[in-house]
Amino acid sequence: MITIQVYEDNAALRHGLEQLLSFSGDFAVTGSFDNCLQAEAEVKQSPPDVILMDIDMPGMTGIEAVKKIRAINTKVQILMLTVFDDNTHILEAICAGASGYMLKKNVSEKLIPAINELLAEGASLSPSVAKMIIASMQQPTTKQQYDFTNREQEILALLCKGNSYKMIAAELGIAFETVRSYIKKIYEKLQVHSATEAVSKAINEKLI
């Protein structure tokens, strides 16, 4: 059973998320909170597989909470839920360590597939989010050299565009396991441990 913690200050939406997850039969909500002031301690005490985090939370923003959570846990998948649809919030969330980003209006139909994608591949970025990320990476800058091969550079670019491992394999005409092997090498060179961290570093250092 996949364990999930929910952080959402809107009571009706929070209860709706709990019901949606419970009805799926694959998830167990182990914590549900109306603020994220104690998120670091709550995650440390009972580490979940997935966190659903609202950005606009009272007392402390979801983005700040993600930063604190990432300081103690780099493995948990964190999906941001928000009404915001702009570059600033998207980039802040991803750079803070969020694994994915979803608008609340899409939750009922897209939440379960997004969670499953996160668990399978470690990143869930919608096409619109990926487009904004790529747009933010257009400004030239001095980039640190990581000695990527052409193929590794190509795969990192596709990863940053929101492509899943399967999509990358299909795009490049190579096996799924080959993609996984390349991405493992990319992680080693970037000194990261997840797709989220790789995308975040690529954004921050404008590697693509």
Number of domains in the chain: 2
- Which residue among 104, 133, 162 closes a domain? 133
Same domain, yes or no: 54 and 100: yes
Q: Which string of b and e fits 176-208 if b means at least 16 CB within 10 Å? A: eeebeebbeebeeebebebbbbbbbbbbeeebb
Same domain, yes or no: 74 and 156: no
Same domain, yes or no: 92 and 119: yes
pTM above 0.95, yes or no: no
| Residue whose structure tokens are 């991803």 | 94
Same domain, yes or no: 23 and 75: yes
User: 178 lies in which domain range?
Assistant: 141-205
CATH number of the domain to which 124 belongs:
3.40.50.2300
pLDDT tens-digit profile, the chain (208 residues): 999 999 999 999 999 999 999 888 889 999 999 999 999 999 999 999 999 999 988 899 999 999 999 999 988 999 998 887 666 677 788 888 888 888 888 888 889 988 988 888 766 565 666 666 656 555 544 456 788 999 999 999 898 888 888 999 999 999 999 999 999 999 999 988 888 788 888 877 778 7
- Which residue among 86, 104, 133 closes a domain? 133
